[in-house]
Chains A and B, each alone.
Chain A
Amino acid sequence: MNSLPASDVKPVNQTNTQSEWVWEQHIPTDLQVASQVLSHILERLQHYQWGQRELFGIHLALEEALVNAMKHGNRMDPQKQVHLWCSISREQFQVRITDQGEGFNPEEVPDCTAPENLERPCGRGLMLMRNFMSEVIYNEKGNQVTMRKHRSEEGAAS
């Protein structure tokens, strides 16, 4: 991974074949590094010819999940890390993000589209993740999210 400083990100595993790219990293709790990780993954999605509409959705969902892990999970503690596992092929995008926090119950997040909640500043991230990804699954503790996106016909790059 050329764009990330070696001191910030410790590569665990990377597999790059014509049909699938798999990447595993320990990422420091640092929003600038999160931005670099996002850009790197988006570059790989473009390499596998994902279309602009689906890139937008994945970008949004991944940003939400990474920032949630750092801000709400690790509470921006620089001593804590986020573990990221990502797999990209032409047909499917998968990512698993694990923080070192206490976890949370996603069922307790209020519906931000309800009229009484519309003006609340928080609570839209999880809804956007669910809207733009095919699957969003949390572990029991609530400190790990796995997201999958299956490419649709219209998602193919034109």
Chain B
Amino acid sequence: MSRNEFFQLERSGPATILTVQVSRISESEGIEQFFATLNALVQEGHKQLVLDLHQVQLVSSRALGKLVVFQRRLEQAGGWIRLCRLSDYLQELFRITQLGKLFQVFPDRDQALQNAPPAETQTLAPDNPAS
């Protein structure tokens, strides 16, 4: 397990569980660094991600937009991302924005991991790295 400013990392089989350590993912709280760190993790080979959001109180519209782009590029690179442990307020945010249709959201880590596809079937696409 390792730590940095934004995430606590844990491995679970082929998947990486990233527990977000900040309470706000927003423009006023270093959103560029947040996604740069996320992209760097993907470049290091963490392409099957469970994002645990239980400590997050707020996600701004721009952060949601960046998450949409991140997921699209990660999938193009053969990876996937699942979200779990959203607060009631964040769940409402995903409902209002209709983003629950784009993201796979689970109540806890176990369910997020159980619904993960097998890792060995993934084919990486180096020409389309998540960035």
- Which chain A residues in 47-83 approach chain B with CB under 8 Å? 53, 56, 59-60, 63-64, 66-67, 71
- Which chain A residues in 32-55 approach chain B with CB under 8 Å? 32, 34-35, 38, 53
- Which chain A residues in 106-146 approach chain B with CB under 8 Å? 112-113, 118-125, 127-128, 131
Expressed in whole angstroms, the Cα–Cα distance for A118 and B61 within the complex equals 12
| Cβ B69 vs Cβ A71 within 8 A | no
Expressed in whole angstroms, the Cα–Cα distance for A118 and B58 within the complex equals 20
Expressed in whole angstroms, the Cα–Cα distance for A120 and B62 within the complex equals 11
| Cβ B28 vs Cβ A67 within 8 A | yes
- Given A53-B89, A122-B65; A63-B97 close (CB under 8 Å): no
Question: What A residues does B62 contact at CB under 8 A?
Answer: 67, 121-122, 125
* New A-B contacts (8) at CB < 8 Å, excluding given A35-B29, A112-B97, A124-B61: A31-B28, A32-B28, A53-B89, A60-B93, A63-B24, A113-B97, A124-B97, A127-B61
